[in-house]
Amino acid sequence: MKIFFSPRQRGHRPGKFLVSGRLRQIPDVPERVESLLMGAASCGHSIDEPEDFGISCIEKVHAAEYIAFLETAYDRWSALSDASSDVVPNVHPRHPGRGYPRSIVGRAGYHLYDLACPITPDTWTSALWGAHSATAAALQVRDGEARSAYAICRPPGHHAGRDFAGGFCYLNNAAIAAAVLRDTYQRVAIVDIDVHHGNGTQDIFYDRGDVMTISLHGDPAEFYPFYWGYETERGDGDGLGANVNLALPRNAGDNQYLDALHIGLSHLRDFRPQALVVALGLDSYKNDPLAFLQITTTGFERIARVLSSLRLPTVLVQEGGYLCEDLGMNLASFLTGFEAEQLQQA
């Protein structure tokens, strides 16, 4: 399996965010990448650096004004006489889209929907090279160079919508990978197994019938992102029925998760996709710092085998999974299960 990662993805060093009114360190620290790299290496994989693809693939899923904002926000913010060290908004529109301010303070609130996505000096570079990693993996699969490929994307991406950032996410790497696959395949599915709902991915594809989005996640009635991820959200227009949300109760374990996954995959088989993107969140682990579910290390192998048994060209895109002792081992478990199932099919 080809694996892609750029060292430039380490540069983003976010500070703190509010959790229940208290300041806490954002868990997307650069050090989590080292655990992921060790997990991949333990499976015998080498890591390739992606090339610079510019912004053409990003433009497939994100609005032009949003891309321009991410690229220039830190410099514009720093030019303010009394600005904080990082870009953190103090105002958010209740109904965005009715006006687009010139002020960088106003634009920050327009595009950053929560306080968990500060823009630091290296945020744009890190997010851009994360997108390059996703693009490189998707091109490997799209062009038939590999049956599957994995992108270590950091920062993660699935909370980033067409014109907004949130939840540690700036560019939606899974959506970018799906858009690249769509250059060849008429129907692509995204299965998001992160512990949080992929609200940004849903936003991007909600009215499209060519990309199915399936998200398994902690119940948003009591878990982030709270306002998206309910099972009544099924898509609009051409996309009606192509958005599937499967909300899981707190402390759901391996068997309950796999039952929900099989329900999601029944929808996927009806859709008949020709390629697959897996938004690979490992934060559903029982000991993750953001724990809500109770998935075990063995559970990740079982999940991987089910996804691999679909026998689809597949791009794995890293989402959450935060620094804990078993992070690398959980990735290794998933990759081992995914590849073992592929070998059985060969």
Q: Look at residues 296, 281, 304, 195 and name the one whose alpha carbon lies nearest to residue 246.
A: 195
How far apart are the C-alpha atoms of 127 and 206, rounded to whole Å?
23
Mean pLDDT of 320-330: 96
How far apart are the C-alpha atoms of 225 and 233, rounded to whole Å?
14
Residues 6 or more apart from 149 whose CB is under 8 A from it? 1, 2, 3, 4, 136, 137, 138, 140, 141, 314, 315, 316
Q: Residue 44: is its pLDDT beyond 80?
A: yes
CA atoms within 13 A on the CB side of 219: 7
**Terminus-to-terminus CA distance in the chain, angstroms?**
14
Q: Look at residues 155, 149, 156 and name the one whose alpha carbon lies nearest to residue 195.
A: 156
pTM exceeds cut of 0.75: yes
Mean pLDDT of 45-70: 97
128: pLDDT confidence band, cut at 50, 70 and 90? very high
How far apart are the C-alpha atoms of 112 and 128, rounded to whole Å?
17
Strand, helix or coil for residue 105: helix
Dihedral sign (CA 23, 28, 30, 32): positive
Mean pLDDT of 164-168: 97
Paired tokens of 66:
């949003």
Share of the chain above pLDDT 90, in %: 94
Q: Residue 346: is its pLDDT beyond 70?
A: no
Q: Please, what is the Cα angle at 335 between 283 and 126, to 5 degrees?
A: 60
94: pLDDT confidence band, cut at 50, 70 and 90? confident
Give the total residue count for the chain: 346
Q: Look at residues 303, 290, 305, 297 and name the one whose alpha carbon lies nearest to residue 330.
A: 297
Paired tokens of 191:
């299965």
Q: Which CATH class is domain 2-345?
A: alpha beta
> If you average pLDDT over every residue of the chain, what do you get?
96
Q: Specify whether the backbone of 244 is left (phi greater than 0), alpha (psi in -120 to 50) or beta.
A: beta
Q: Report helix, strand and coil shares of the chain as percent, to nearest 5.
A: 40, 15, 45
How far apart are the C-alpha atoms of 321 and 214, rounded to whole Å?
19
Dihedral, 223, 229, 232, 233 alpha carbons, nearest 10: 160
Q: Residue 198: is its pLDDT beyond 80?
A: yes
Dihedral, 250, 255, 259, 262 alpha carbons, nearest 10: 120
Q: Residue 311: is its pLDDT beyond 70?
A: yes
List pLDDT tens digits, range 99-116: 899 999 999 999 999 999
171: pLDDT confidence band, cut at 50, 70 and 90? very high
How far apart are the C-alpha atoms of 333 and 212, rounded to whole Å?
26
- Say which amino acid occupies 129: W
63, with CB counted inside 10 A (0-12, 13-18, 19+), is: middle
Does the annotation count 111 as an active-site position?
no
Given 158, 159, 197, 217, the catalytic residue: 159
Backbone angles phi, psi at 119, to 5 degrees: -100, 120
List pLDDT tens digits, range 222-261: 999 999 999 999 999 999 999 999 999 999 999 999 999 9
